[in-house]
A and B are shown apart, each in its own frame.
Chain A
Amino acid sequence: MATRLTVNQRTQDVEAAPDTPLLYVLINDLSLQGPRFGCGLAQCGACSVLVDGVETRSCVTPLSRVEGKSITTLEGLPAWYAQQQKLAAVPELHPIQQAVIDEQALQCGYCYNGQMVKAAELLSKNQQPTDAEIRTAMNGHICRCGTYPRLMKAIKRAGLAMVGGAR
């Protein structure tokens, strides 16, 4: 049974049972590398994507629930950002991705799909979040390498870049 999906601004039909969690479709049918399996229980954030701009756990989201909605994965963050900011060209990286590189924030980086998707969602609404706002927003995203302190710095750095870029 075909479901029409819009992922990273591209619409296509996928053949999968409607109860299939979106994550498995993104990985196996669309061969995306951003969203990834972490717990299958919506506890860790490895699988996060944006659905109409809202961070969503794709591991527990059935395909049937996202038909007709706009799904953005890590791969699509730069274009999503460009659209939001009305930039003339799509940058190579979203500011949070650049900040993660500049701060050398990640270690294994496996959780950073969700960390960056969630941070992008936060920064789209609040470009200069306080420590407390960052902690609250990011609390649902586990990192087992213990890179939270650097990620905190990266999110602030990205926010500053966005404010600077908007002016």
Chain B
Amino acid sequence: MSENMLPELPRRAFLKAGGTLVVGFAIAPSAFAQNPGQLTGANDGPAQPSADQLDTWIAIHADNTATIIHGHHELGQGISTTLLMIAAEELDMDMSQVQGMPLETGKSPNQGLTAASAGIARGGVRVRLAAADARQALLNLASTRLGAPVDRLTVSKGVVSIVGTPGKSATYGELLGDKRFNVPFTGRAPIKDYRKHTIVGTRVPRRDVPAKAAGKYAYLQHIKVPGMLHGRIVRPRGQGSFLHGAKVMSVDASSISSIPGARVLRRGDFLGVVAPNEWDAVKAAQQLRVTWDMPAILPATPQALYDQMRAAKTVDRFVLDRGDCTAAFARAAYVASGRYDAPYQLHGPFAPNCAVADVKRDSALVYSSRQTIYGTRQVVCGVTGLPPEKVVVRFYETSPSYGRGCQEDCAMAAAVMSQEAGAPVRLQFMRWDEHGWDHYQQAHTADVKIGCDASGRIVAYEYHGWQHNFTSGDTTEIMIGTKKPGEGDGIRAQGPTLFNTGDQYTIANWRIVNHRVPGMNGYFKAAPLRSPMDIALSFAGEQTMDEVAFKASIDPYQFRRQNINGERWLGVLDAVARASRWSPRRASFISQTGRIRTGRGIALGTHLSSYGAAVAEIEVDTETGVVIAKRMFGSIDPGQVINPGVVEHQIESQMCVAASRMLKEEVTFSTTNVTSLDWGTYQPLRFGEAPDVTAVVVDRPNVPSSGAGEEALAAGAAAIANAFFDATGVRMHVFPLTPKRVLAALQTAPA
């Protein structure tokens, strides 16, 4: 998710507006400029199809069908259907005439990471332009064959005919059937007017669902290769401080000698076991006696962690400093301020990672579920020493990490184990491997201050955020010694951004300061997790926004409405207010006395693009401290919607995940290591606690698509926090809102 480009949105206007603006992320050229130069470039690495040839992207078959050869990875988000919709639309073919192709290095184009909700926003642009180019090339062929100029030709279901001349036609299959286009990908062919779309914007059923429901879908976990051994990694249960890592003091191979065929594999500090039988491999990994060097250098409690971050020698940087906050706060009629803390959270894919590697002396074949085949090839080359042209990576789906989980680590580990074993290895991470050795969403702590005038107009917004960066170097490569632990470069989604800390509102005096904590020593591995940082940012910013509204005696929806920054934020805000039948009132805690308190909350949020809003209706049990999100309303404006059914599903999913992360999920640790190693110690949202969800899609078919995979998540989480105040009159300053924390907060609150 760190690769997000910024599409053309109104917010770009204020970037130009200046002030002492130090913008911490590169403003990439618009992906929608349709400049063919931008469509190639990055793809011209070794052993991959040339992105500037049309044949790389589309093949037309004699039976008048087409194969769309894209580089985006199905993760359950429906991309394998929605990209085909875009292609069929531009080609004037029926959905039944188009198909995708499995992803494999050397065959699939390199479209980078399928991440940052950019599958449609960026990947879709290329597929659309390629399909338009293909249509144009086919029309040129048809023009010659039918003896009519291109501008007199029309296409339906892949059949080209002459306008007003029935009976004379040619199918795409007849024109090109299984031959190459042999033309460059120009990206210059005319694109269909959105008002003529018949496929884009409709609820086409997803291609992957029937096989998944029937139990016939091949997940990565189902891959078997002849002669393969079953592998398990052996690591301490739960990572420790990132810089120190885990170092092997001693290994007693005799401790598994009773298990038939089990072998210890070691390279540096990397340890694994293999056995012909899977259960034997599981037992061997549990039974192997290893002494690890794991120093007790982590903070003792979450509170100590946040304090450690605040006390660190930070690198401070203005993300934005507009106007004069100090003077504006002095003039403000109402000011709300507070400290907010956010925990490390886990990717925790439902399926622990798996990879199958067959590494030979001069070649390798790796099956991986990491959402970049070429990126995976690169790291496999790094650990095996093989050149890219000798390594093939095939993608198979598993349950997604929604970010950078352990997929890469698992692929590297499988390759190392296969190389050491001299045989193909199927490596399955155990639940504790996945929970314990993830790159987590990093912890965050914030000081927020917002002021408004007597009429409720925001006059100043100040946000200070502390967190460390994403880390670099993955566990396997660090353990074998080919990479050193390091930190990311600090751009994008690694601290407060103006997009999720104020862009929703019109703010004259606005300061955002990023206090970057050195994150190597006494912290954990970190990487993007769905809507990176945004839940923490919204939890702090949107609660403070509610508090200042409360002080000004204005309903939180009305307060947001009167300070809104533009029609797109207004569109999603109004959408959730309407859906939830929001009517302005004072906070409801004032009139509640019983054991079960109810509350509602509203919030805005996004990631780096699109617009998200949410309303949450919750129940708080004041005796047990249990908070349940009963009902949630979520809205996203992602620009042009390709498939409203898929976007609605994304919104529903984000509301459930928002409840999970706001109410339940937290990485726990001792002074030596992570201790939340299964679903008992790291609690996810369960069916019984899931909200009823109403999803509202705001479609803007004339605006480029900007992604819908994560943009309502932060709004949903903050809406729950605001609902808690509405129910109880108490502000929660740290999440998740676990029963223990809730009871403690309610006890300290004034009666």
A40, A73, A152: most-surrounded residue (chain B CB, <10 A)? A40
- Give the distance to chain A from B568, nearest Cβ to Cβ, in Å: 25
Q: Which B residues are CB-close (under 8 A) to A104?
A: 205-206, 209, 645, 649
Question: CA of A44 to CA of B680 in the docked complex: distance in angstroms?
Answer: 10
Which chain B residues border A141 with CB–CB below 8 Å?
A: 687
Question: Which residue in A37, A108, A136 is a CB contact (below 8 Å) of B397?
Answer: A108
Return chain A residues, CB-CB under 8 Å to B352.
37-39
Q: Is the CB of A147 within 8 A of B653?
A: yes
Q: Given A108-B400, A147-B652 in contact, is the A33-B657 Cβ separation under 8 Å? A: no
**Of A19, A46, A73, A134, which contacts B351 at CB under 8 A?**
A46
Residues of A100-128 at the interface with B, using a CB-CB cut-off of 8 Å, are: 100-101, 104, 106-113, 116
- Answer yes or no: B208 CB below 8 A from chain A CBs: yes
Select from chain A the residue with minimum beta-carbon distance to B680: A43
Residues of the A chain whose Cβ atoms lie less than 8 Å from the Cβ of B398: 108, 110
Q: What residues of B have a CB within 8 angstroms of the CB of A74 in the complex? A: 215
Known: A36-B351, A46-B351, A110-B350. A145 touches B217 (CB 8 A): no
Given contacts A107-B77, A146-B655, contact A41 B679 (CB under 8 A): yes
- B213 & A150 in contact (Cβ 8 Å cutoff): no
In whole angstroms, how far apart are the Cα atoms of A46 and B399 in the complex? 11
Chain A's closest residue to B212 (CB) is A109
A159 contacts B by Cβ under 8 Å: no
A145 and B686 within 8 A (CB): no
Q: How far is the CA of A97 from the CA of B211 in the complex (A)?
A: 10
A43 contacts B679, CB within 8 Å? Answer: yes
Measured between beta carbons, the chain A residues less than 8 angstroms from B690 are 135, 146, 148-149, 152
**Docked CA distance A112–B655 (Å):** 20
How many angstroms from the CA of A93 to the CA of B686 in the assembled complex? Answer: 26
Does B221 belong to the interface (CB within 8 Å)?
yes
Which of A20, A40, A144 gathers the greatest number of chain B CB atoms within 10 Å?
Answer: A144
Give Cα A107–Cα B653 distance, bound, in whole angstroms: 9
Is A87 part of the binding interface, using a Cβ–Cβ cutoff of 8 Å?
Answer: no
Asked if B266 is at the interface of the complex by the 8 Å CB criterion, the answer is no
Q: Is B692 an interface residue (CB 8 A)?
A: yes
A148 touches B222 (CB 8 A): no
Mark each residue of chain B from 395 to 413: 1 if its CB lies under 8 Å from any CB of chain A, else 0: 0011110000000000000
Cβ-neighbour of A40 out of B77, B217, B430 (below 8 A): B430
**Inside 8 A of A143's CB, which chain B residues have their CB?**
350, 656, 687
Question: What is the CA–CA distance of A40 and B687 in the complex, to the nearest angstrom?
Answer: 20
- A145-B653 CB under 8 A given contacts A36-B221, A139-B687: yes
Provide the residues of chain B in CB contact with A100, threshold 8 Å.
209, 213
Question: Given the known A-B contacts A33-B218, A113-B215, are A142 and B684 also in contact in the complex, defined by CB atoms under 8 Å?
Answer: yes
B222 near A33: Cβ-Cβ < 8 Å: yes
B691 CB–A CB distance under 8 Å: yes
Give the residue name and chain of the A residue nearest to B220 (CB): A110
| Among A33, A98, A139, contact of B217 (Cβ-Cβ < 8 Å) | A33
Q: Does A38 contact B351, Cβ atoms closer than 8 Å? A: yes
- Expressed in whole angstroms, the minimum distance between the Cβ of B581 and any Cβ of chain A is 19
Partner of B691, one of A145, A149, A151: A149
Q: Which residues of B contact A75 (CB under 8 A)?
A: 215
With both beta carbons as reference points, the residue of chain A lying nearest to B652 in the complex is identified as A149
B654 interface residue per 8 A CB criterion: yes
Knowing A44-B679, A135-B687 are in contact, say whether A108-B279 is a contact too (CB < 8 A): no
Complex contact A110–B656 (CB within 8 A): no
Residues from chain B with a CB closer than 8 A to the CB of A146 are 652-657, 660, 685, 690
Chain B 64-96: CB-based contact to A (< 8 A → 1; otherwise 0):
000000000001111000000000000000000
A113 to B654, CA, bound (A): 22
A149 touches B213 (CB 8 A): no
B348 at the interface (CB under 8 A from A): yes
CA distance A29 to B459 in the complex (A): 68
Q: Mark B96-137, 1 if CB is under 8 A from A, else 0.
A: 000000000000000000000000000000000000000000
Counting chain A residues whose Cβ lies within 8 A of the other chain, the interface size class is 35 or more
A-facing residues in B195-231 (Cβ within 8 Å): 205-206, 208-210, 212-219, 221-222
B652 touches A150 (CB 8 A): yes
What is the total number of residues of chain B having a CB less than 8 Å from a CB of chain A? 56
Q: Is the CB of A39 within 8 A of B679?
A: yes
CB–CB A106/B209 < 8 A: yes
Given the complex of chains A and B, what is the CA–CA distance between A93 and B278 in angstroms? 31
Assembly CA distance A75 to B216 (angstroms): 8
Within the complex, the shortest CB–CB distance from A157 to chain B, in Å, comes to 13
Per-residue CB contact flags for chain B residues 671-693 toward chain A (1 = under 8 Å, else 0) read 00000001110001111101111
> Which residues of chain A are within 8 angstroms of B687 by Cβ–Cβ distance?
134-135, 138-139, 141, 143, 148, 151
Render A15-27 as a binary contact track against B, CB cut-off 8 A, 1 for contact: 0110111001001
| Closest residue on chain A to residue B210 by CB atoms | A101
Does B431 have its Cβ within 8 Å of any Cβ on chain A? yes
A84 interface hit (Cβ, 8 Å): no
Per-position binary interface string of chain B over residues 163-198, scored 1 when its CB falls under 8 Å from any chain A CB and 0 otherwise: 000000000000000000000000000000000000
Minimum CB–CB distance from B651 to chain A (whole Å) comes to 10
Which residues of A, 58-109, contact B by the 8 Å Cβ criterion? 73-75, 92-93, 97-98, 100-101, 104, 106-109
B375 is an interface residue with CB less than 8 A from chain A: no
Q: Bound state CA distance, A113 and B351, in angstroms?
A: 12
Complex: A19 Cα to B280 Cα, angstroms: 11
Chain B contacts for A139, CB-based, 8 A: 686-688
Partner of B215 from the list A21, A24, A34, A37 (CB cut-off 8 Å) is A34
For the complex, give the distance between the alpha carbons of A11 and B612 in Å. Answer: 54
Nearest chain B residue, comparing its CB with the CB of A17: B279
Chain A residues within an 8 Å CB radius of B443: none
Task: Answer whether A109 and B213 are a contact pair too, CB < 8 Å, given A38-B350, A40-B431.
Answer: yes
Q: Within 8 Å CB of B399, what residues of A?
A: 108, 110-111, 144-145
Q: Are A109 and B400 in contact (CB under 8 A)?
A: no
Interchain CB contact under 8 A, B217 and A109: yes
Whether the Cβ atoms of B209 and A101 lie closer than 8 Å is yes
Q: A106-B76, A138-B688, A148-B656 are in contact. List 18 more A-B contacts (CB 8 A).
A: A20-B279, A33-B218, A39-B679, A40-B430, A41-B431, A43-B679, A75-B215, A93-B214, A100-B213, A107-B76, A109-B213, A110-B350, A112-B212, A136-B688, A139-B688, A141-B687, A146-B685, A149-B691
Can you report 12 residue pairs joining A to B where beta carbons are below 8 Å apart? Answer: A28-B277, A37-B352, A39-B352, A41-B678, A100-B213, A108-B397, A109-B208, A109-B212, A144-B349, A146-B685, A146-B690, A148-B687
Residues of A within 8 A of B (CB): 16-17, 19-21, 24, 27-28, 33-34, 36-41, 43-44, 46, 73-75, 92-93, 97-98, 100-101, 104, 106-113, 116, 134-136, 138-152
User: What 5 pairs between A and B have smallest CB-CB spacing?
Assistant: A146-B656, A108-B76, A109-B212, A107-B76, A148-B690
Interface residues of B (CB under 8 A from A): 75-78, 205-206, 208-210, 212-219, 221-222, 277-279, 282, 348-352, 397-400, 428, 430-431, 645, 649, 652-657, 660, 678-680, 684-688, 690-693
